[in-house]
Amino acid sequence: MFHKEGGKIILIATTLTVIITLFAPKLTSIIWLEKTIQIAALVFLLLILQFFRNPNRKIEANDKVVLAPVDGKVVVIEEVFEEEYFKDKRLQVSIFMSPINVHVTRYCVSGKIKYSKYHPGKYLVAWHPKASTENERTTVVIESRVFGEILYRQIAGALARRIVNYAEEGMQVRQGDDAGFIKFGSRVDIYFPLGTKVEVKLQQNAVGNQTVIAIKE
């Protein structure tokens, strides 16, 4: 299954691959070069397909846990000052996505969308300390029945050139449902109230809709 945001790119990549494969013999009479061109086109298509894959990870919503919104590696767990919405100290957990990770963003909790805003910005590498405040990004706040307000931020990386965010203020959303997509390398930050029990560790690989990031006892 592929994400709908990849439909146009997948169609273009497939068309180009077919054209290159068919016309490679006319571009060169050298057999090994012809095969190299055809294989390179096929590899390009496979990379596009794997990037836009959308694994079916249906779950039973659980208000007492916060699930990973994306696949990737946990690169930050620390107290920070969140200056856009809360304007106070929060516990930040950041997940970095490499180009080979699934890039679908999913709602980490169920609740009501209280805030959703897009910010244009730079394209620093996603692990840069200033990426959270200077890169292109979207900020979304969900009011959860158990955890209160949870903020997550989609952040574009050096390769990302488009953030897709489906959250609109006033919407009721369900944990695990599709919340958007970030194209070609990125990061997601999650901000919790201080004292939240975090269940992941630095450098741990998280799986969207499966890994528990935080729990309410």
Neighbours of 147 (CB within 10 A): 21
Residues in the chain: 217
* Spatial contact of 181 and 104, defined as CB atoms under 8 Å apart: yes
Question: So which residues are the catalytic ones?
Answer: 186
Nearest Cα residue to 139 out of 157, 154, 158, 126: 154
Residue 120 is encoded by which pair of tokens? 């244009």
64-80 per-residue burial string, b: 16 or more CB within 10 A, e: under 16: ebbbbbbbbbbbbeeee
Nearest Cα residue to 115 out of 87, 90, 149, 80: 149
What gap in Å lies between CA 155 and CA 134, rounded to an integer?
9
CA angle 122, 130, 107 (to 5 degrees): 85
The residue type found at 73 is K
One-letter-per-residue 3-state SS of 172-203: EECCCCEEEEECCCEEEEEEECCCCEECCCCC
